[in-house]
Amino acid sequence: MNADYVIVGAGSAGCALAYRLSEAGHRVLVIEHGGTDMGPFIQMPAALSYPMNMSLYDWGYKSEPEQHLGGRELVCPRGKVIGGSSSINGMVYVRGHAGDYNHWAESGARGWSYADVLPYFKRMETWHDGGHGGDPDWRGTDGPLHISRGPRDNPLHDAFVEAGRQAGYPVTGDYNGQQQEGFGPMEMTVWKGRRWSAANAYLRPALKRDTCDVIRALARRIVIEEGRATGVEVERGGKVEVIRANREVIVSASSLNSPKLLMLSGIGPAAHLAEHGIDVVADRPGVGQNLQDHLEVYMQMACSQPITLYKYWNLLGKGLVGAQWLFTKTGLGASNQFESAAFIRSDKGVEYPDIQYHFLPMAVRYDGQAAAEGHGFQAHVGPMRSPSRGNVSLRSSDPKAAPKILFNYMSTEQDWEDFRKCIRLTREIFSQDAFKPFVKHEIQPGNELQSDDEIDSFIREHAESAYHPCGTCKMGAEDDPMAVVDPECRVIGVDGLRVADSSIFPRITNGNLNGPSIMTGEKAADHILGRRLPSSNAEPWFHPGWQAAQR
């Protein structure tokens, strides 16, 4: 078994790499531990809470007890399936803010500024605005990834945007266009009523070529000979074998599994590898460090009118929605139901948004448990740039053992200040006139929780991960001791080896990470092929009064 390029992981970045490298005529072999993504629970957008709770499709990882969240172990789903996490995620599509990528470039990831990445976002997209306005000049028209908007026909979606406007925030027709800041429609990776995962967008078309294949196996370690990666040792059907890479090995196994695989292969913090009896190939102290995520709470309001999705929250309702979707790919089943969004700044002096809202016309938990109150709606809210940093380390040298994951959430005073602001700003939005016809009362946290201490204890008990882990194989300058890959995605200190997925993000981007992860695969492919798209000179919007005003 051999190929020019061996890619570990058929996830968001890996599928994009397979598509671009095979398109250029190279032989590509993708290794994926999970199985097929063809079940209705994956393909039907509204069923999104199912696959991430199914061991068939999810690695089933949990964090270590998080000491600042009362010792809770938080679940961190990662897709173990064709398409990776793009097959089990909430399908929300966010590019990230221009300021995020400019920060990457300033911190050592040269060539990854917003001007550099915008052409790749445009190349990967086919954008459907659905008649809801937007910025066509900033968007792609013929890429593999279809981006659409929901019908937004529930009056609560408009109420949310109007309440933001009444509270003094900008309204934006396209947060993925020139202006992210403000309230407006949310976008999703859904096309013709189906989840448009990286598998549907990239891998299926790539597999139609003679030059691309996928095999189902567990990657055990990268084979490194005389300082060069030459293949991947895998286990399949109970047998261990080596798949040879004639040119390069590319690790796209996620921010949790990529550092694990590097460490199992002798690349990582030398002392930690020695603890597990692993010979050091490259002492890279940054492998597994710099772990970041978005944490959020669900602000839930009881609704005074029976217009929420709760009316379908019974066996008959779910059956009807499911049947309509199965036969026609239309109706409520064809949307992830996140159809309004907002990005705002928490304070004056914050240059670009650091708070994100997902609005949902139902009060429900991510694991599918509906609020006891019946009809309600909710906003998921949380800070975008937490200063807390965690790490991923080895539990043992056994490739089948789960990695040890500690996010170290809420470990700084800044985290708590930012979160309290999120809750108070959200209450203010829900108290605007636009919501007067709909708000009965606050379900969660509940009006009685007002002081800092009361809000803090609510956060400690109820904050959940938004499932955006990243940063564990940081991209940076070659002389940065904590960098794992250089700006070409090459692992520093090993030849013929790259990492390309959300683990290379120097700092977490605004919003959901699926879009940036796919962009990373697209751009990494060009680095490998020795080409690049010309930089953009488009000027993104920053609030002109950001230094003096919060809105």
Q: Active-site residue numbers?
A: 468
The token pair that represents 324 in the structure block:
């309509």
Cα–Cα distance for residue pair 497/475, rounded to 1 Å: 14
Nearest to 381 by CA among 295, 279, 271, 284: 295
> How large is the C-alpha radius of gyration of the chain?
22
The token pair that represents 428 in the structure block:
């203010």
Count CB atoms within 10 A of the CB of residue 387: 12
The token pair that represents 383 in the structure block:
């800070």
**Helix 413-430 vs helix 452-462: angle between axes, to the nearest 10 degrees?**
100
What are the percentages of helix, strand and coil residues in the chain, rounded to 5? Answer: 30, 25, 45
Q: Are 510 and 356 in contact (CB under 8 A)?
A: yes
Distances (CA, A) of 111 to 119, 132, 434, 485: 12, 33, 44, 13
Residue ranges for the known binding site are 81, 89-92
Q: Phi/psi class of residue 366: alpha, beta or left (left: φ > 0; alpha: ψ in -120 to 50)? A: alpha
- 470 DSSP assignment: B
**Residue 358, strand partner residues:** 341, 380
Nearest to 251 by CA among 419, 538, 30: 30
Q: Phi/psi class of residue 470: alpha, beta or left (left: φ > 0; alpha: ψ in -120 to 50)? A: beta
323 Cβ contact list (under 8 Å, min separation 6): none
Cα–Cα distance for residue pair 446/455, rounded to 1 Å: 10
Please report which residue ranges of 396-488 form alpha helices under DSSP H.
413-430, 452-462
* Residue whose structure tokens are 């109970």: 238
User: What element of type H or E holds 504?
Assistant: none
Largest Cα–Cα distance of the chain, in whole Å? 70
Residue ranges for the known binding site for FAD are 81, 89-92
332 Cβ contact list (under 8 Å, min separation 6): 46, 309, 312, 321, 324, 325
Dihedrals phi, psi of 450, to nearest 5 degrees = -125, -35
453 Cβ contact list (under 8 Å, min separation 6): none
